[in-house]
Structure 1
Amino acid sequence: MTSRQRLSVVIISKNEADLLPDCLASVSWADEIVVLDSGSEDNTVEVARQAGARVWQSTHWQGFGKQRQLAQSYASNDMILMIDADERVTPPLRQAIEQVLSSPASNTVYSLGRSNLFLGRFMRHSGWYPDRVMRLYPRQLSYNDNLVHESLETQGAPVVALKGDLQHLTCRDLVAFQRKQLNYAAAWAQERHQRGKRCGIVSIFTHTLGAFCKTLILRAGFLDGKQGWILAVVNAQYTFNKYSTLWALNRPSAKGSV
């Protein structure tokens, strides 16, 4: 009889004291919870410790990919579930994960369907559902080094989709969400600039228009009502910020010019 695999839930955090309690409660059944904090100025660390999590701190920020790698290095179990403070494991998803742990498959990665909240509505279209992410995997695998939009390097392992949703409180406050998007856009542009990537002025606007049309029409964002229309504009704005920042980084310095 195959023994049940033990699960380590791994979370990276910074100033997540408000969101963390519900996140931790949704995975309280796990064998271990590891939290790596990036220098919170609120009581995130205390909240995590009170919930029984094993907590480490690292303020040497090298990007999301590197931070997830470091956080995972503190885990001690065979299976990793990587989640964020603004995510919650629903009961159906927990049941699916428990089944995996009870009947483990060798070298298999599991994708979770995310249900994303946008301005009070869990989106069902717009490319936001099912927003599948590979988050449950054996500990010998790890994330890549990307500054943002990091992803798991599966090394050719088969990927199995699990039932049940991972709820993601993506956007509760539009201004805060757009600030985060702006930071992501800047990191995206900086990363590609360092790799020698360039873009022209026409490319900025074709990508921006394409993002709007893809969200609203191709991904049926109009079926998500008012939030779908707003999200299409937000996605276009994010795309504009990415490519215009990359364009600006590749411009010669104007310092001293007349």
Structure 2
Amino acid sequence: MSHRKRLSVVLITRNEAELLPDCLASVSWADEIVVLDAGSVDETRHIAAQAGARVFQSTDWPGFGIQRQRAQAYASGDYILMLDADERVTPPLRQAIQDVLQHPDPNAVYSCARRNLFLGRFMRHSGWYPDRVVRLYARERYRYNALPVHESLATGDADVVALTGDLQHLTFRDLPAFQRKQLHYAEAWARERHRQGRKCGLFAIISHTSGAFFKTWLLRAGFLDGKQGWLLAVVNAQYTFNKYATLWALSHTVRGNDQ
């Protein structure tokens, strides 16, 4: 009979005082909570400490992948559940995680279905559900890659097992704040591609932008999500435009400086 494995919930934070309490409450049953904070100027660290988390600080920002791996290094549990402050573990997902800890498979990693909030509605289509992400895994076997954005867990040939239950994701609560966040991601994406020598032309900007809208609205059945589905299609198109337009601008800025 296998012994129950210990679980470490790991978060990276920066100025998450508004969202963090509910996130931590949803995983208060974990054996350990580790928070690595990147220079918050609000009550984030205090809130985490009051909730019983082990709180650490970093003085620089190396990108999401490296930061997650740094945070994982502070954990001591057999298994890691990697979360963001705007996520909440629902009771059915908690039960599924606890079942894994009772009957672990070290050759497997586990994915959670995220229910993403968009302008007051948890989306069921538009490519936003089930939006599975690998978040539960054996600490000593798996690591995050070093990408600055859109980081992922290096799972190798591990089996990916889908957990029951949902991970609520309060990703889109404020339109301007979300757009600022998307613009940051788009710039980081473009700068990384520019560093790799990638370029794009006007046609690529137009085709990728229009393609992002129609993929969300039609292929991913965004029209079934009502007004929010149409708005999300526009937001996705805008994000895609920002990515490729920034990449185009970076290439032409360098060319202009060389003249």
Q: Same fold (TM over 0.5)?
A: yes
Q: Distance in 2 between matches of 1:106 and 1:66?
A: 23
Quote the residue 2:116 is aligned against.
116
Task: Give the counterpart letter for 1:73 in structure 2.
Answer: A
Q: Distance in 2 between matches of 1:59 and 1:116?
A: 31
Q: Distance in 2 between matches of 1:69 and 1:12?
A: 10
Task: Give the counterpart letter for 2:85 in structure 1.
Answer: A
Alignment of 1:80-229 (within 5 A): 80-139=80-139, 140-229=141-230
SS at match of 1:146: coil
Quote the residue 1:254 is aligned against.
256
Task: Give the counterpart letter for 1:230 in structure 2.
Answer: L
Quote the residue 1:37 is aligned against.
37
Superposed CA offset, 1:83-128 (max 9, x none): 0000000000000000000111122100000000000000000000
Q: Distance in 2 between matches of 1:74 and 1:198?
A: 39
SS at match of 1:29: coil
RMSD of Structure 2 on Structure 1 (CA)? 1.0
Q: Distance in 2 between matches of 1:185 and 1:64?
A: 14
State the 1:254 CA deviation.
3.0
The TM-score with structure 2 as length reference comes to 0.97
Query: Structure 1 residue 51 and structure 2 residue 51: aligned?
Result: yes
Superposed CA offset, 1:159-213 (max 9, x none): 0000000000010000000000000000000111111111111001100000000
SS at match of 1:254: helix
State the 1:240 CA deviation.
0.2
Q: Distance in 1 between matches of 2:110 and 2:137?
A: 6
Task: Give the counterpart letter for 1:225 in structure 2.
Answer: G
State the 1:256 CA deviation.
9.3
Q: Distance in 1 between matches of 2:226 and 2:175?
A: 16
Percentage of identical aligned residues: 71
Cα distance change, pair 126–159 in 1 and its aligned pair in 2 (3 A): same
Q: Distance in 2 between matches of 1:210 and 1:96?
A: 37
SS at match of 1:115: strand
Structure 1 stretches lacking a partner, 5+ long = none
Q: Which moved more, 1:191-200 or 1:21-30?
A: 191-200
Superposed CA offset, 1:187-245 (max 9, x none): 00011111111111100110000000000000000100100000000000000000010
The TM-score with structure 1 as length reference comes to 0.98
Superposed CA offset, 1:53-83 (max 9, x none): 0000003101000100100000001100000
Q: Distance in 2 between matches of 1:124 and 1:168?
A: 13
SS at match of 1:106: coil
Q: Distance in 1 between matches of 2:240 and 2:170?
A: 21
Q: Distance in 2 between matches of 1:193 and 1:56?
A: 33
Q: Which moved more, 1:245-254 or 1:232-241?
A: 245-254
Q: How many residues align?
A: 257
Q: Distance in 1 between matches of 2:240 and 2:173?
A: 21
Task: Give the counterpart letter for 2:205 in structure 1.
Answer: I
SS at match of 2:256: coil
Structure 2 stretches lacking a partner, 5+ long = none
State the 1:253 CA deviation.
4.2
